[in-house]
Structure 1
């Protein structure tokens, strides 16, 4: 799927989420920090905030299922087990803030923005 190009600042945000938070669903399952993740775009890839509004998810929790509950495979089941994407995104930001990481202002600007459709 085509979308907006990722800026260097957005790439750093993605890397911070993956390397410090890891798969947020694995954390909920008590598996600790799983950094073998990809970035899930919560509200598509074409909107202005697309690359800020993202979640770090491992393959089984993102696309494939397997032992996990995959977001793309069964969103209702995923949300019932782990919470809404908006709640998980806020949780990721809180984890980073508690660990002393600076949360980008651009992320904050979009988190509560009217265009976000989580």
Structure 2
């Protein structure tokens, strides 16, 4: 992994969970989730197509709460990955709102 990738991942994680922020649950520590839907990839995206998710919204929350427990229900509940990725990139100042 290149230095620029590590720095980007660190900036993304420092935002806290995008779902918790959108639900006004405050800042929660985030893990990096590599997006797959909307990127044209059937496998894990690169290190620039990532969103910050807390462990509950990422992998431990169960169906409808954790993205890895059921993507379609999760996206219905919290928004699709591409829109959340765009939000994160706006928050980082990488694209204009």
Q: Could you tell me which residue of structure 2 aligns to residue 69 of structure 1?
A: 65
Matched, 1:40 2:33: yes
Q: Could you tell me which residue of structure 2 aligns to residue 8 of structure 1?
A: 3
- Structure 1 CA distance, aligned partners of 2:34 and 2:2? 15
Counterpart pick for 1:84 among 71, 80, 83: 80
Q: Could you tell me which residue of structure 1 aligns to residue 39 of structure 2?
A: none
Query: Could you say what the CA RMSD is over the residues aligned between the two structures, in angstroms?
Result: 1.8
Structure 1: where are the runs of 5+ without partners? 1-5, 98-102, 109-118
- Structure 1 CA distance, aligned partners of 2:20 and 2:85? 14
Structure 2: where are the runs of 5+ without partners? 37-42
- Number of aligned residues: 88
Q: Could you tell me which residue of structure 2 aligns to residue 3 of structure 1?
A: none
- Structure 1 CA distance, aligned partners of 2:70 and 2:24? 21
TM-score (norm. length: structure 2)? 0.80
Q: Could you tell me which residue of structure 1 aligns to residue 16 of structure 2?
A: 22
Moved over 6 A (4+): none
Task: Map Cα deviations across residues 50-97 of structure 1 (whole Å, 9 max, x no partner).
Answer: 11111111100000116x710000211210111110000000111222
Which has the greater radius of gyration? 1
